[in-house]
């Protein structure tokens, strides 16, 4: 058993004791096993993306990397027909750069960058008791965001196959190659 899985299981045992959750809870086997809420609060089941490649990005409206929204939207428009899903997860973890309400975030993204790809509720990406299940799962890959606009390529089966830090733009050939490789699998 790898160290990250052991830590997950220890966390599950602590949660069992603290919240009376039934024993035997296993960590999700796939990103697509997770359930979250959309930015408007409506439930969203990530299983709808199974069979697609997902680009998961922790986003923020007041960050120096915020102009990447334009490239993410272009990537979404260009490749959604090929099986790519760009998924945005707002986070206020780094520099308090996503302080807005869900309505403010949605309005900013739509009006400023024409964002039409799915945006989900604000999450905590950093390790700890408040960390979103999304980033607990993604962190199993060995990488967690060090800043806003970090990117994970998740394959059709829901496994992380590549991670790119904030400075890697949506236009970067290495990111596009990782997406193309995952789409070809």
Task: Return d(Cα 25, Cα 62) in angstroms, integer.
Answer: 38
Catalytic member of 56, 63, 144, 154: 63
**Domain 28-184 falls in which CATH fold?**
Glutaredoxin (3.40.30)
Residue 63 annotated to the active site: yes
In tens digits, the chain (185 residues) has pLDDT values of: 455 444 444 444 444 444 344 455 677 899 999 999 999 999 999 999 999 999 999 999 999 999 999 999 999 999 999 999 999 999 999 999 999 999 999 999 999 999 999 999 999 999 999 999 999 999 999 999 999 999 999 999 999 999 999 999 999 999 999 999 999 99
Q: What are the sequence ranges of the domains in the chain? A: 28-184
* Of 121, 109, 117, 156, the residue nearest 40 (C-alpha): 121
**Is the whole model's pTM more than 0.75, yes or no?**
yes
Using DSSP, how many helices (H) and how many strands (E) does the chain show? 5, 6
- Evaluate whether 166 touches 34 at the Cβ level (below 8 Å): no
């Amino acid at each position: 058993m790898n160290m990250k899985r052991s830590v997950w299981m220890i966390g599950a045992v602590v949660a069992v004791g603290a919240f009376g959750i039934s024993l035997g809870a296993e960590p999700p086997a796939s990103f697509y096993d997770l359930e979250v809420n959309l930015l408007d609060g409506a439930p969203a089941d990530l299983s709808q993306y199974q069979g697609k490649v997902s680009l998961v990005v922790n986003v923020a409206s007041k960050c120096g990397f915020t102009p990447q929204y334009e490239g993410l939207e272009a990537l979404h428009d260009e490749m959604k027909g090929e099986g790519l899903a760009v998924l945005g997860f707002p986070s206020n973890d780094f520099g308090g750069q996503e302080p807005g309400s869900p309505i403010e975030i949605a309005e900013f993204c739509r009006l400023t960058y024409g964002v039409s790809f799915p945006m989900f509720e604000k999450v905590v990406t950093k390790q700890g008791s408040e960390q979103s299940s999304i980033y607990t799962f993604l962190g199993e890959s060995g990488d967690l965001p060090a800043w806003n606009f970090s990117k994970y390529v998740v394959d059709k089966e829901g496994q992380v196959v590549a991670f790119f830090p904030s400075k890697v733009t949506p236009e970067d050939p290495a990111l596009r190659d990782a997406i193309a490789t995952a789409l070809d699998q």
